[in-house]
Structure 1
Amino acid sequence: MVHTIPLKTPLDDTGLPHRDTQTSQAAAAPADASRYHHPHFVDARPTGSGTAYRFTAFSGYESRPEMPAGAYDDAAMTWELRDQLHDQYTAARVLWSQACLRLQAAPLLHKAAPLWSAWTAARNELVVTFAQFWSTGDGLWRAQLLRLTDAERAAREAAGAFDVVARGLAQAVADQVDVAGWDEALELTTVAGELGYDASD
């Protein structure tokens, strides 16, 4: 049989917070991920398609942005905060990879521009030299063959010189795509345009 004992003073009048009140106050305190933000992070704003993250400019000399390991072990971090932090570092890596491409490609593009001009001139000379066979007299074919051989050698050397620089440019582009993915790939023609080069060819 259950007995009820009346109390002269209610237990809640002690002035001590009730256990449920302590729990709710702790739960009400918002979790904060700011200590894990990337040093270049400025802010994040919601957009129609997700969240736009803003950062101060990357130079390309920084270390690759990676989410701090402590964020995974921090009990105060919620799943939502970790997800947002992950997205922030993904956005940071995209901008960092683009800065790296600009940094690596600039000196290569400065070398590539005159080499490309030399190659196109040598190729045009080769085409013209070959076309002259149609108007070369019978007694001049040997001289024309020598001119064609010289033009072919010059075109091959010019192409080889350009290819050396082009391999470096291709590697820089591949490195950027490896980090950012094809959807966030920075076009090499865009980088060249920023330096004042028309790289459409």
Structure 2
Amino acid sequence: MAELPTHFYLASASPRRAELMQRMGLRFEIRPTHVEEDDSGSQGPEVMVLENAKLKASTLSELEPEALVLGSDTTVAWDAHVLSKPIDLADARRMLHMLSGRRHTVYTAVSLYWQAGGLAHTFVERSDVRFQQLDDARIDQYFARVNPLDKAGAYGIQEGRELIIEHVEGSVENVMGLPIQALEQTLRELGFDFWN
């Protein structure tokens, strides 16, 4: 086994993931990968986020084999529908109407790669979210506070949640894009210490 990695890279441009890792007190660098993600959900939401997270982590790990790399992907799924980022505000409104008054699931996959140490470890966390009943006026109010276009399912939980969300079962941070409780447990179990 190689010596433990000295660098920890986040293979994502997501400010929310970086913020959550900072909140955990981790030392890391942001190194986004430019890969072609599959947002079709044709194999189901869990497989989709797993494959996307592995693709991000493995791509950067090939360039940085001595570093520990974290790739992650999040999606919102209701019934058989995978809700990726909306293409415009009309699409975002359609998604929120679809989720209104209903329960849906947020899946986040985390993939940890360390090529020099032969590590490829991936897991998926799920949280269930129930929305309030939403009418157009409430959605307009939400859009005035939150940009829905860069978020899977057209919503985020860290701002304006009182306008749309009734209840969350599971990790709230998972809904934000990174299940920090499960990540901390996994890093400790694997013997990595990147805490400040």
What TM-score do the two structures reach when normalised by structure 2? 0.20
Return the structure number with greater relative CO, CA threshold 8 A, min gap 6.
2
Q: Which is strand-richer, 1 or 2?
A: 2
Q: Which is helix-richer, 1 or 2?
A: 1
